[in-house]
Amino acid sequence: QKEVEQNSGPLSVPEGAIASLNCTYSDRGSQSFFWYRQYSGKSPELIMFIYSNGDKEDGRFTAQLNKASQYVSLLIRDSQPSDSATYLCAVRGGGADGLTFGKGTHLIIQP
Amino acid sequence: DVKVTQSSRYLVKRTGEKVFLECVQDMDHENMFWYRQDPGLGLRLIYFSYDVKMKEKGDIPEGYSVSREKKERFSLILESASTNQTSMYLCASSQGQGGYGYTFGSGTRLTVV
């Protein structure tokens, strides 16, 4: 059974600080890694994806991947209250069965 | 941008009713998925389809069926709705095997009374 693990939180971060969200996965054959943001009562929206080891930056967001440690993270710089949401980590394994989602981390940015 | 449209935002149905949830995508994606999302349980895959008239069971298919008669449309059917099927239902589509991620519809909040 492929698993994606996230700390459920809530993770509370002061406005303007860096929020760090973490995710581990069990399938060593995993190829693609995604971060979704989900506001309360809304559907998930894709904010970042990463395929290779290292860092990938997009505006205030940085995704980090370490395949040897089976670890993927999302950093949010200069956190804003509008970043308060649940962040879902999703992993595409080596097979043909699509994405496996973690249960999400609830992030709260305190003004 | 890919658009995935779910026909209803909120639905209230009675126990025992047959319920149809419709999902349409407009970007010619091969793959479509139905999830339900419940607090503390995350997203759980009900059914998915990689092609017209194809369907595959996900992790929790019991009590559900699906139909994909056209590439752009994927319907979820609750054969006889029960209160434990009260949930948020999310449809998603993707190009290929999900290597580019999924695009989700806005969701249907179903309440079975």
Chain segment B66-103, per-residue pLDDT in tens: 999 999 999 999 999 999 999 999 999 988 765 678 89
Q: What is the mean pLDDT of chain B?
A: 93
The pLDDT of residue A2 is 76
- Which of B41, B98, B105 comes nearest A99 by C-beta? B98
Tell me the pLDDT of chain A averaged across its residues.
Answer: 93
Share of chain B above pLDDT 70, in %: 96
CA distance A6 to chain B (A): 11
Comparing CA positions, the residue from A83, A90, A84 lying closest to residue A104 is: A90
Window 41-70 of B: residues touching A by CB (8 A cutoff) are: 41-43, 45, 48, 50
Chain A residues touching B98 at Cβ < 8 A: 32, 92, 98-99
pLDDT in tens, chain A (111 residues): 679 999 999 999 999 999 999 999 998 988 899 999 999 999 999 999 999 999 999 999 999 999 999 999 999 999 999 999 999 999 987 665 678 899 999 999 999
Residue B2: the pLDDT is 60
- Note whether A103 contacts B45, CB cutoff 8 Å: no
Q: What are phi and psi of B91, to 5 degrees?
A: -100, 145
For B45, nearest residue in chain A (alpha carbons):
A100
Q: Do B42 and A101 touch (CB under 8 A)?
A: yes
**Cα(A6)–Cα(B107) distance, integer angstroms:** 23
* A4-36 pLDDT per residue, tens: 999 999 999 999 999 999 999 998 988 899 999
Task: Enumerate the residues of chain B whose CB falls inside 8 A of the CB of residue A94.
Answer: none
DSSP state of B3: -
Beta-carbon contacts of residue B90 (< 8 Å; ≥ 6 apart): A43, A44, B6, B34, B35, B36, B37, B43, B104, B105, B107, B108
Tens of pLDDT, residue by residue over B15-42, are 999 999 999 999 899 899 999 999 989 9
